[in-house]
Amino acid sequence: MARDLEVALAVARKDALAELRGRHATGTTIFFAAIVLLLFGFALGPDARRLEEAAPGLMWLAIVFAGLLAVGRLHETETEDDALEQLALFPVARHALYLGKALAGFAAMLVLGVALLPLVALLYRVDLLAAWLPLGLTLVLGTAGFAAVATAYAALTMRMQAREVLLPLLVLPVVAPLLLAAVKATTAALAGDPFGELASWLQLLAGFDVLMVIAGAVTYRFGLED
């Protein structure tokens, strides 16, 4: 167990280091997400009220789309020089590799989310500071669940020709309830939780996270092996 944790942290640390050096995924995906947010604004028209209402949904869509890119990129660094092959050859538990990769994906998405929040506040005129705690909690739980699913499927599709198309096709339906819960929780948090529903949405997110992390850890080896 301690060994698995050591391995997971080593993998995540390695990815974070490469990320900070190369600024491959996070930098570009933040930019991508920002553009998506801007375009949503164009698509929905100049009505500030409407934008404000749609803000939670648009923010989470931007996070989901950018997150797909980020997690895909994290796995791409493994395929560049066939590092994946060496990674698979190390005598370590496959679930430890999964946890490391998922942790790296989670970190990248969290950075992404934190970077997007002020932008959402700015563009869609939403007051985020008033509800920073529930918002932060939603962001953590939402991105964790997304990273858990996307990492599990990235390993499956990594070696496939059409992985850029296939990964979103597989991940998006699975994270549909996560998206729903995260948007609802964000909306509730911004409105001051008038119906007292925030806690149940956060619980749903937490339950999703736990289930998907376990599922990903158990199944990661089947994607990694021939």
Partner 1 sequence: MPSTTIYLAPPRRALEAPPAVATGDLARLFGRGAALVDVSIEIEAGRCIALTGPNGAGKTTLLRVLATILRPTYGIARVDGIDVAAEPHLVRERVAFLSHATGLYADLTAAENLAFAATMLGLSQAEGRDRVPEVLDAVGLRAAAGARVGTFSAGMRRRLALARTILGRPSLVLLDEPHAALDPDGMALVDRLLAGWREVGVTTLVASHQLQRIAAVADGSVALAGGIVTEVTGDGVVDRSATRNRARFPEPSPTLQGAVAP
Partner 2 sequence: MRTRTLGWVALVAVVAATLNSLVGVPADLNQGDAQRVMYIHVPSAWLAYLSFGVTALAGIGWLWKRDLRFDWLAVASAEIGVMFTAFTLLAGAMWGRPVWGVFYQWDDPRILSTTILLTLYSGYLLLRRMTDDPIRRANRAAVVGFIAALDIPIVHFSVEWWRSIHQVATFGSPARILHPAAPGAFVIALLSMLGAFTIAWIYLMIRRYQLAALEARIDEAARRGTLAAARAAAEAGVPEVVPRAGEAIR
Residues binding partner 1 (CB under 8 A): 3, 6-7, 10, 14, 17-19, 21-22, 24, 77, 80-92, 225-226
Angle at 174 between CA 173 and CA 180, to 5 degrees: 80
Q: In the set 16, 18, 172, 206, which binds partner 2 (CB under 8 A)?
A: 172
Burial 106-140 (b: 16+ CB within 10 A, else e): bbbbbbbbebbbebbeebbebebeebeebbbbbbb
Q: In the set 174, 185, 189, 202, which binds partner 2 (CB under 8 A)?
A: 174
Q: Are the CB atoms for 47 and 77 separated by under 8 Å?
A: no
**Cα atoms found within 13 Å of the Cα of residue 159, Cβ hemisphere only:** 10
Residue 115 tokens, joined = 């970077």
> In the bound complex, what is the minimum distance in angstroms from residue 23's beta carbon to partner 1?
9
Q: In the set 27, 137, 193, 200, which binds partner 2 (CB under 8 A)?
A: 200
207 binds partner 2 (CB under 8 A): yes
Q: Cβ neighbours of residue 219 under 8 Å, at least 6 residues apart?
A: 152
46 binds partner 2 (CB under 8 A): no
Query: 56 in the Ramachandran plot: left (φ > 0), alpha (ψ -120 to 50) or beta?
Result: alpha
Q: In the set 55, 184, 185, 190, which binds partner 2 (CB under 8 A)?
A: 184
> In the bound complex, what is the minimum distance in angstroms from residue 169's beta carbon to partner 2?
5
Return the range that interacts with partner 2 (CB under 8 A); candidates 22-30, 36-44, 74-82, 170-178. Answer: 170-178
Return the range that interacts with partner 2 (CB under 8 A); candidates 45-53, 73-81, 106-114, 157-165. Answer: 157-165
Q: Are the CB atoms for 113 and 47 separated by under 8 Å?
A: no
Longest Cα–Cα distance in the chain: 57
181 binds partner 2 (CB under 8 A): yes
Residues at the contact surface with partner 2, assessed by CB under 8 A: 149, 152-153, 156-157, 160-162, 166, 169-170, 172-174, 176-177, 180-181, 184, 195, 197, 200-201, 204, 207-208, 211-212, 215-216, 219, 222-223, 225-226
